[in-house]
Each structure stands twice: as structure tokens, then as C-alpha cells.
A = this chain, B = another copy of it.
Amino acid sequence: MTTFRTNLARTAAFVLIAASWAAPGRAQEPLPSWNDTAPRKAIVAFVDRVTKQGSPDFVPPAERIATFDNDGTLWAEQPLYFQLLFAIDRIKALASQHPEWKDKEPYASLLKGDVKAALAGGEHAIFAIMTATHAGMTTDEFEKIVRDWLDTARHPTTGRPFTEMVYQPMLELLGYLRSNGFKTFIASGGGVEFMRVFAEKVYGIPPEQVIGSSGTQQFEMRDGKPVLVKLAMVDFVDDKADKPVAIQRIIGRRPIAAFGNSDGDLQMLQWTCSAPGTRFCLYVHHTDAGREWAYDRQSSLGRLDKGLDAAAAGDWTVVDMKQEWKTIFPVRP
């Protein structure tokens, strides 16, 4: 636990640094990891417009809702969604309790280290992996499992803790928006119970501002105490046309700014930026094969195709990571 807390504390320190950079009244300019080109100027101009008292574009603080996708928008998503890497690690950890997995797909391939073969089973395989690792325990037990994993697991190519695979420019953006009275939410296809374990310390986003996919839960009494048990049933997949649905159901107010990186975020951005009034929509475009990864229209993971067309047609901001971001990941203090 110590290492995990140390890591979190370190990452939290980055956030604080970003927040102090972004705090109003300081000499520092906001968004220091952003080059001072069109995307940064567009962000600052938008924030200035909606926060200026007496301006026709002024938005009261209670309505300053900003929603962020997580995978590929706030942290990396290559070579696989990090939550899927977690699930694969759990399959390995649980294998000794499931001797039958040796001969059963997708587990058999995973245990041999062949992720590609395991995932060839498509959605069925992913559902099997997820339910084997995300159900059958209480919410408290699951939180501890994720916490322990984040403490020890390392990214397969960078060797960093996953909580340090977050984007420094986006941490600064979160802090900048909050210092201007925005309420920042995550609206991600990732599991809500998974993201909440780190979202508050890493992003400064409390659990009640994290929206994600969820499994069905059941209230039970065990030894006279209530618990919530995670069942092997999908309750809600927070992706594509269901992102605005979840935003409406949980926030109940249309965002005035939305941030994504893939076609899975398209409807969230449409819902946000088609409303009357001053709105801001931004796509992070993965263009940096050297410092991060480069992928868009042809990628099977995080595909950004229709979204790029919609951004051009709708005059949304597209961030070319390679061009616009001075740093990608937080620099270790």
C-alpha cells in the first residue's frame, strides 16, 4: 500500500502543480504544457467568454459542466485499455482457483500469454474476461483489488505506474477549468467502480463526478451487515449514443464543454455543442508515435474517424498531440 500511496501522492503532486499554474491571480500563465497556438487560445477564449460577468456569453457557475472521456483523453489507452490489462492480470492471479480455465477460451490463451488469440473471440471473450474478474465480490472487495493492482502493476512498454500514464496537459486543463468555476466530470466507457479508485487523487474528480459503464449490483445482508455484490450482468455501457443518455440521467444538465478522443465520444460532443449558447468541444488526436502513439481512422481501438469529420464540419477544436503538447506525461519530480 505504501508504494501505491506514494505513487498517488506523487501524481497528486503533479495535479497540484498544474492547479497552481492555473490558479487565477498568479503570474504563471495557464496551461503551461500547451503550445500557445490555436487550441490553447481557443480554450482560454472560451473560458474568458463564459466567466466574464455581464457578458452575453456569461454562464453561471452551477451550469459550467465539463465532461471528459477517460481512455485516450485523460490517460493513454495503448496497447490495450488499461482496465482490460487489469482484467488479464486478474485472470492470471485467479487461475490457480480455476483449473478448468487451462482448457477453456478465452482464459487458456490469456494464460499462455496470447492476448490476441484470446480477444479473437470478440465481445463474447471480453464479456467472459470481465465477468470473471469484475463480478462475484462486494464493491468494497473490488475497490481493494483495483487499489492493490494500481499499486504494483506497470505499463507494458513504458514501465510506468498506470496512474502516471495520464496526460499532463489534460491535468492542467482540468485544474484550469475548475479554477474558473467549472465542475469537471468523467463520462467514459470504462467501469465506473474501476475509475473511481484513482480519479479523485489523480484527476481531482470525486466519485460522484465519475460516470462510466457498470455491472448490476445487488444489496444483500451478510452477517447482519449490508453489502453490495457485483453480479455478472452488464447494467449499462457508457459509450456512443448512450453517453448523452448517461449524462442526462446522472448530471441532468447539458455540458457546456466536452472532451474526447474517439468516435465513441461523438454523440457526447454533438449533444454538448449543438445546444444554444457558447459551447466548447475538443478532440485529442493521437499523432505522436514517438512520445505516445499515433492512431485514428483505421484503429480498432479508440478509432477517430467520423469524429474527425464532425469536428471539421462543426468547427470543434482538434488537438494534434505532437504539435500542441510540450509534454505528454507528467515529469517525475
Contacts and interface: CB of A to CB of B under 8 A. Distances in A.
A159 to B, nearest CB: 30
B196 A219 contact: no
Given A192-B249, A228-B245, A228-B248, 7 more contacts: A62-B206, A208-B208, A208-B253, A214-B249, A218-B241, A218-B245, A219-B271
Interface of A: 62, 65, 139, 183, 192-193, 196, 200, 206-210, 214, 217-219, 225-226, 228, 235, 241-242, 244-245, 248-253, 267, 270-271, 274
A252 B218 contact: no
Contacts of A245: 217-219, 228
A331 to B, nearest CB: 27
Contacts of A200: 62
A242 B231 CA distance: 14
A248 B208 CA distance: 9
A208 B252 contact: yes
A226 B250 CA distance: 18
Nearest to A195: B252
Contact of A192 (B62, B225, B252): B252
A271 B207 contact: no
B207 A253 contact: yes
A252 B209 CA distance: 9
A196 B241 CA distance: 23
A228 B272 CA distance: 12
A208 B251 contact: yes
Given A206-B62, A244-B226, A196 B270 contact: no
A219 B192 contact: no
Contacts of A209: 208
A308 to B, nearest CB: 19
Contacts of A235: 249
A269 to B, nearest CB: 10
